[in-house]
């Protein structure tokens, strides 16, 4: 009998050869059935992973840090540890301004995020850009996110003190005004608890080090959970 050709055993034939042919068929049939079940079943459908985009500048990009120590990477790790299946997308570009963010936000929406943390404006302040211009750019970004149905956590920023109190007040007012206008969550100051603390910053005194990023994640996490609708 040729088992591979599908010819059945001759039940009337005795001897060792007949026994071998008879015992081979069930084994091959079971193996074929198991393979069919595996292929046919495929992976079990799971709950879609939600996507969170961090749209920002060098702080989001992880300037001066390994990729795994960047703010998006550490935030994703914290969310996973808390039991949330969320993919955090690093949309940071070092040196980016609010104008740069407005120019690329539509392209970033190609990643189909469900949520966005918007952290832009620090480089505007460092360059002394008119707060009205920064407001208009961020307003444009938020309008595009609103139109895409994306929920937003707006991360505020403060201007350096050397620009004077009037500039500082005008700049600081940008974020609460935008949050009210677009009905989005506001994290008042992105570098809260980290700014001006040498042990939490790199040598430039501007960008957080790995310890600083962990401190930021710890402070931001309750706000991010609210953004995700988990709290």
Q: In sequence order, what are the residues at sequence separation of 6 or more whose Cβ sits closer than 8 angstroms to the Cβ of residue 48?
A: none
Q: Residue 8 belongs to what domain range?
A: 3-41
Given a contact cutoff of 8 angstroms between Cβ atoms, the answer to whether 174 and 140 are in contact is no
Same domain, 15 and 58: no
Query: How many structural domains comprise the chain?
Result: 2
Are 18 and 95 in the same domain?
no
The predicted pLDDT at position 185 comes to: 98
Per-residue model confidence (pLDDT) at position 46: 58
pLDDT of 109? 97
Number of helices followed by number of strands (H, E) in the chain: 9, 5
H or E segment and range at residue 155: strand 151-155
> At residue 168, does pLDDT exceed 90?
yes
Structure confidence at residue 4 as a pLDDT band (50, 70, 90): very low
Same domain, 32 and 120: no
144 & 167 share domain: yes
For residue 29, what are the contacts with CB-CB under 8 A and spacing of at least 6? none
Rounded to 10°, the helix 210-227/71-81 angle is 60
Residue 154 CB: number of other CB atoms within 10 A? 26
Q: Who wins on pLDDT, 230 or 10?
A: 230
Residues 75 and 17 in one domain: no
Same domain, 84 and 145: yes
Q: Do residues 96 and 203 share a domain?
A: yes
Q: Is residue 82 domain-shared with residue 132, that is, in the same domain?
A: yes
Together in a domain, 103 and 210: yes
Q: Which residue has the tokens 């074929």?
A: 32
If asked whether residues 188 and 115 sit together in one domain, one would say yes
* Contact in structure between 87 and 114 (CB atoms under 8 Å): no
Residues 87 and 153 in one domain: yes
The residues assigned a catalytic role are 58, 204, 207
Average pLDDT of every residue of the chain: 86
Separation between Cα atoms, residue 154 and residue 223, nearest integer Å? 10
The single residue listed with the structure tokens 């996490």 is: 221
Report the residue count for the chain: 231
Do 15 and 89 sit in the same domain of this protein? Answer: no
pLDDT in tens, 191-204: 999 999 999 999 99
H runs (alpha helix) in the chain: 16-41, 58-61, 71-81, 98-108, 122-126, 131-147, 165-172, 174-182, 210-227
What pLDDT, in 10s, does the model give residues 81-138? 999 999 999 999 999 999 999 999 999 999 999 999 999 999 999 999 999 999 999 9
Task: Kindly report the CATH number assigned to the domain that includes residue 201.
Answer: 3.40.50.1110
């Amino acid at each position: 009998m040729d088992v591979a050709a599908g010819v059945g055993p001759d039940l009337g034939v005795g001897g060792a050869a007949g026994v071998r042919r008879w015992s081979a068929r069930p084994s091959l049939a079971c193996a074929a059935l198991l393979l069919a079940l595996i292929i046919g079943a495929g992976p079990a459908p799971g709950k879609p992973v939600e996507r969170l985009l961090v749209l920002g500048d060098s702080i989001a990009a992880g300037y001066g840090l390994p990729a795994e120590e960047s703010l998006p990477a550490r935030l994703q790790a914290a969310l996973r540890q808390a039991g949330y299946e969320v993919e955090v997308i690093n949309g940071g570009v070092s040196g980016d301004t609010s104008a740069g963010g407005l120019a690329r936000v539509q392209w970033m929406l190609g990643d189909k995020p469900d949520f966005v943390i918007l952290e832009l404006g620090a480089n505007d302040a460092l360059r002394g850009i008119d707060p009205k211009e920064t407001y208009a750019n961020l307003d444009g970004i938020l309008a595009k996110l609103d139109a895409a149905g994306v929920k937003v956590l707006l991360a505020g920023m403060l201007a350096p003190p050397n620009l004077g109190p009037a500039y500082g007040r005008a700049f600081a007012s940008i974020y609460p005004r935008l949050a009210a206008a677009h009905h989005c969550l506001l994290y008042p100051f992105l570098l809260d608890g980290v700014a001006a603390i040498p042990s939490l910053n790199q040598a430039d005194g501007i960008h957080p080090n790995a310890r600083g990023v962990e401190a930021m994640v710890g402070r931001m996490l309750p706000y991010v959970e609210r953004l995700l609708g988990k709290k």
